[in-house]
C-alpha cells in the first residue's frame, strides 16, 4: 500500500471485496451512465440517479466502517489503506496531467478539473490510468465555465448544455419557500447566461440586486405569508412524535385544531410559517374563535402539553399573518440558501445586502 507498511493479498479475494466490487460495477457501468442518458425519459433517468446515489453512499460507507470500533470486522489498516490508495491515485493523476501538458484547476477526492484538454489528451489519460492504476476514469461533466471558492469542495459552474451546477445546492430542495426559491431561480438564470469572463462581473451585479431586493422585501414585510411557507411531509401521525417535536409537527397539531375530527396522517404535507413566538392561548383563540372559554382552555392545555411550551414559533399558513412572521429567521434562511453561490463568487451575504459589521454581529 503506497505510503503505508500494509500490504494486500492478491491470491485470495475476500467476500467483502467481491460484494463491494460488484456494487461498484453496478453503479459505474449501469446505473450512473443511464442517469445521464438523454434518450431515456426524465422520470426513469431520475430513478437511475437515485439508485446510483444510494449505491454511492453504501460504497463510501463500506470502507469507513472498518475504522469504527463498533463494527464487527473492525480493522483500521483496511480503512487506512483505502484512503492511502485513493490519495496515491489522485496525486498520480494530477502529476500525469502536468506531465501531459494539461492544466489542473482543482483536485477533489476522486476527480480533477482540467482546463480545455483535447480529446486526445483525455483518452490518453484514461488509457494510462487503466494500465498503471487499474482504475476506470471517465468524463463526468463538461463545463462552459466554473468558479471555485477558497472553501473546500465548493464550486459552481455552467455545463455545456446551460445547466447551472452548484456543489451542495440548497435552493433546489422542495421545502424551500417560494419567496426564496423564486430568487434562487433568478440568480441561476443570471449565471446560466454567462458566456465569457466579462459576463460574470455583470451577472454578479445583477445577483446583488436580486438579493438586496429580497432582503428589503423581508425587512419591510412586503410579502404574503403563503410565499414564505415551508412544506414538509409528516413521517407519522402527530401524536406518535413523543421524544422530539419538529416544527412541522407543531404546525400539524395546530392545524388539527382547525379540523375537528380530521386527524392528519403520515404522508400529509404540512405548510407552515416561522413566526415570532406566540402564546398557545392566542393560537387556540384564532383557530377556534367560536368555542366557549372552557373548551378553548382544554384545547390550550392539550396543545401546551404537546409542544411542551407556553408558546409556539410556527403556524400553519391558514393562521399566520404578515405581522406574525419572524423575519430574522427568513433572512437567515435566505443567507444559508445563497451562501455557497456567493462564496464561490467571492462575495458575502452581509456585503451584498449592505449590512454593517455591527449589524452582522447582532444578526
198 shares a domain with 57? no
Decide if pLDDT at 357 tops 80: no
281 shares a domain with 209? no
- The domain boundary, picked from 140, 172, 199, lies at 140
Q: Percentage of residues in the chain with pLDDT exceeding 90? A: 60
Q: What is the pTM of this model?
A: 0.74
32 shares a domain with 119? yes
Q: Is residue 119 part of a domain?
A: yes
120 shares a domain with 46? yes
**Which of 194, 229, 191 is CA-nearest to residue 210?**
191
Q: Which three cell numbers stand for residue 75?
A: 480493522
Confidence at residue 124, expressed as pLDDT on a 0 to 100 scale? 96
Q: Is residue 206 part of a domain?
A: yes
Decide if pLDDT at 283 tops 60: yes
The 3-state secondary structure of the chain reads CCCCCCCCCCCCCCHHHHHHHHHHHHHHHHHHHHHCCCCCCHHHHHHHHHHHHHHHHHHHHHHHHHHCCCCCCCCHHHHHHHHHHHHHHHHHHHHHHHHCCCCEEEECCCCEEECCCCHHHHHHHHHHHHHHHCCCCCCCCCEEEEEECCCCCCEEEEECCCCEEECCCCCCCCCCCHHHHHHHHHHHHHHHCCCCHHHHHHHHHHHHHHHHHHHHHHHCCCCCHHHHCEEEECCCCHHHCCCCCCHHHHHHHHHHHHCCCCCCCCCCEEEEEEEEEEEHHHHHHHHCCCCCHHHHHHHHHHHHHHHCCCEEEEEECCCCCHHHECHHHHHHHHHHHHHHHHHHCCCCHHHHHCCCHHHHHHC
134 shares a domain with 192? no
Mean pLDDT of all residues belonging to the chain: 89
What is the rounded distance in angstroms from the CA atom of residue 161 to the CA atom of residue 44? 20
We report the CATH number of the domain holding residue 33 as: 1.10.287.690
77 shares a domain with 191? no
| Backbone phi, psi, residue 174, to 5° | -70, -20
Work out the average pLDDT over 158-173: 72
Confidence at residue 179, expressed as pLDDT on a 0 to 100 scale? 96
Q: Is residue 284 part of a domain?
A: yes
Decide if pLDDT at 173 tops 80: no
177 shares a domain with 72? no
What is the rounded distance in angstroms from the CA atom of residue 216 to the CA atom of residue 223? 10
- Give pLDDT tens digits for 199-247: 999 999 999 999 999 999 999 999 999 999 999 999 999 888 888 889 9
251 shares a domain with 212? no
Q: Is residue 150 part of a domain?
A: no
Decide if pLDDT at 183 tops 70: yes
We report the CATH number of the domain holding residue 232 as: 3.40.1820
Confidence at residue 170, expressed as pLDDT on a 0 to 100 scale? 52
191 shares a domain with 56? no
Q: Is residue 261 part of a domain?
A: yes
Higher pLDDT pick, 319 / 260: 319
Query: Total structural domains in the chain?
Result: 3
Confidence at residue 358, expressed as pLDDT on a 0 to 100 scale? 46
Residues 304 and 280 sit within 8 Å (Cβ to Cβ)? yes
Decide if pLDDT at 287 tops 90: no
Q: Which domain holds residue 215?
A: 155-222+330-348
82 shares a domain with 19? yes
| Backbone phi, psi, residue 170, to 5° | -95, -35
177 shares a domain with 64? no
Q: Is residue 355 part of a domain?
A: no
Decide if pLDDT at 304 tops 70: yes
334 shares a domain with 318? no
What is the rounded distance in angstroms from the CA atom of residue 121 to the CA atom of residue 101? 9
- Give pLDDT tens digits for 66-82: 999 999 999 999 999 99
Amino acid at each position: 500500500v503506497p505510503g503505508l507498511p500494509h500490504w494486500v493479498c492478491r491470491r485470495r479475494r475476500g467476500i467483502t471485496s467481491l460484494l463491494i466490487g460488484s456494487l461498484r460495477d453496478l453503479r459505474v457501468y449501469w446505473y450512473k451512465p443511464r442517469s445521464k442518458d438523454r434518450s431515456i425519459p426524465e422520470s426513469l433517468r431520475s430513478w437511475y440517479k437515485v439508485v446510483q446515489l444510494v449505491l454511492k453512499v453504501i460504497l463510501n460507507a463500506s470502507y469507513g466502517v472498518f475504522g469504527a470500533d463498533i463494527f464487527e470486522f473492525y480493522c483500521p489498516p483496511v480503512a487506512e489503506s483505502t484512503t492511502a490508495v485513493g490519495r496515491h491515485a489522485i496525486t498520480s493523476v494530477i502529476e500525469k496531467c502536468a506531465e501531459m501538458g494539461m492544466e489542473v484547476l482543482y483536485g477533489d477526492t476522486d476527480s480533477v478539473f482540467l482546463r480545455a484538454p483535447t480529446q486526445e489528451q483525455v483518452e490518453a489519460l484514461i488509457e494510462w490510468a487503466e494500465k498503471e492504476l487499474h482504475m476506470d476514469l471517465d468524463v463526468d461533466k463538461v463545463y462552459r465555465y466554473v468558479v471555485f471558492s477558497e472553501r473546500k469542495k465548493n464550486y459552481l459552474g455552467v455545463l455545456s448544455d446551460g445547466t447551472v451546477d452548484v456543489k451542495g445546492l440548497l435552493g433546489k430542495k422542495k421545502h424551500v419557500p417560494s419567496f426564496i426559491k423564486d430568487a434562487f431561480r433568478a440568480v441561476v438564470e443570471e449565471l446560466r447566461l454567462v458566456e465569457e469572463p466579462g459576463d460574470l462581473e455583470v451577472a454578479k451585479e445583477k445577483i446583488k440586486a436580486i438579493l438586496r431586493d429580497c432582503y428589503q422585501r423581508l425587512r419591510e414585510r412586503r410579502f404574503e405569508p403563503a410565499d414564505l411557507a415551508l412544506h414538509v411531509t409528516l413521517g407519522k401521525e402527530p401524536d406518535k412524535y413523543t421524544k422530539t417535536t419538529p416544527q412541522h409537527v407543531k404546525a400539524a397539531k395546530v392545524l388539527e385544531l382547525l379540523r375537528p375530527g380530521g386527524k392528519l396522517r403520515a404522508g400529509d404535507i404540512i405548510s407552515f410559517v416561522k413566526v415570532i413566538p406566540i402564546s398557545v392561548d392566542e393560537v387556540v383563540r384564532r383557530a377556534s374563535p367560536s368555542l366557549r372559554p372552557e373548551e378553548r382552555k382544554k384545547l390550550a392545555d392539550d396543545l401546551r402539553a404537546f409542544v411542551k411550551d407556553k408558546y409556539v414559533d410556527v403556524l400553519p399558513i391558514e393562521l399566520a399573518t404578515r405581522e406574525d412572521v419572524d423575519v430574522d429567521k427568513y433572512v437567515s434562511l435566505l443567507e444559508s440558501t445563497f451562501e455557497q453561490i456567493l462564496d464561490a463568487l467571492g462575495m458575502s451575504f452581509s456585503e451584498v445586502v449592505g449590512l454593517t459589521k455591527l449589524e452582522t454581529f447582532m444578526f
